[in-house]
Amino acid sequence: RYERMLQAIKPLPWRKRRKFTQQAIDLGQCIDRQLNDTRYISREVRRYLQSLVMDVDCTRGQVTAELRHHWGLNQILNHTGGFTKNRDDHRHHAVDAVVVALTTPSHLQQLARTKGIVRDPLPFPWERFRDDVANRINDINVSFRPLRKVYGALHEETAYGPTAEENVYAYRKSVRDLKGPMIAQIVDPAIRNLVMERLKQKGLDPNNPPSNIPTEVFAEPLTMPSGVPVKKVRIRDTFTNLIPMTKMKTRTGKPYRYVKPGSNHHIEIFEYTDAKRVAKRDGVVVSMFDAAQRVQRGLPLINRDHGSGRRFVMSLSTNELVHVKVDGQYVLYRVQKLDAGNTRVILRLHTDSRVDDPRTVLRKSPNTLDGYKVTVDYLGRMRPAND
């Protein structure tokens, strides 16, 4: 990542180059600190295990990479036909573990003697070694730590004030953080015209601005004709999911501050029969705020009673695992995210270490989620969750 960032910086203008160069330097320093921590931890673990009368040795990452290349293990997870390590698959750690476990002093001597010289691949530890490793790696079920604890921010920081209109609230936004659709919602017409004039000066259509306004548009301070700087603007918008802060009330007893709920804690999926006697599924997404309220009131964190005729199926939190039926076969997926707006579960293939690959993601509503919840322990053993 560090090398890719340095290559991408070169063709940029000097101002952006200076900004991203500093980010690259910070990233490089962070990598150096992590490598130093890894070296220190390795030495301390080795010293502790040797005190227990164990024969322990540490191998360098370069040696592991060399042996992995010689034994042809990079191609096990690299499905594009390349010869490099595929770090987008969680199972690459298991491949490294196999190499480290089979590294012997003779391998270190062979690599040291032939350093810098074109050499033939080192022999396999045993016959059919690569096939055996590939079979075991492909059978691995990746284990994740589910995020079931009620912790973290219960709501977002922005405060919203109620207006005379139902579900319409006002809030303040920094000028530098404005998005295109927000400009038409600025309350003060004078400031709104000032912002639109700035967009026009920068060559943008003020009536149809882009969603992501370039940072250089508001690089220079925005000022009123009197010279007063404008740092924040007041915006009105419609919201239907805001939470009233009941301790902050006006004289009439109504809350004067509302907030957006923070992250989602879990989804509760239940099954019912519709008027045509067809079995269907639905779900309720529970926010972190609501989960904390349940705990505070002494209520069950998972509500299994959703009314008469509704059978509780399962609850799903982030990083929990689901065996999903895809093209007639069950495939293991983890819960990456919960979409409260559309009542959907965003699932990611359990082996994928990235969060933005469209090829390994499934977006399922409770009614289209054909699968069941499972647990996978640290050894990869999978069992039904019996939620």
In SS3 terms, 222-254 reads as EECCCCCEECEEEEEEECCCCEECCCCECCCCC
Nearest to 266 by CA among 243, 245, 287: 287
Q: What is the pLDDT of residues 251-301, one digit of tens each?
A: 667 788 889 888 899 999 999 998 888 999 999 999 999 999 999 999 999
Classify residue 316 by its DSSP letter.
E
Contacts of 92 (CB under 8 A, 6+ apart): 77, 85, 86
d(CA 372, CA 269): 11
pLDDT in tens, 319-357: 999 999 998 899 999 999 999 888 999 999 999 999 888
Cα radius of gyration rounded to whole Å, the chain: 28
pLDDT in tens, 107-136: 888 887 766 555 667 888 999 999 999 999
Return the closest-CA partner of residue 86 out of 98, 72, 94, 76.
76
pLDDT band at 95 (very low <50, low <70, confident <90, very high): very high
pTM for the complete prediction? 0.76
| Gap between the Cα atoms of 57 and 106, Å rounded | 13
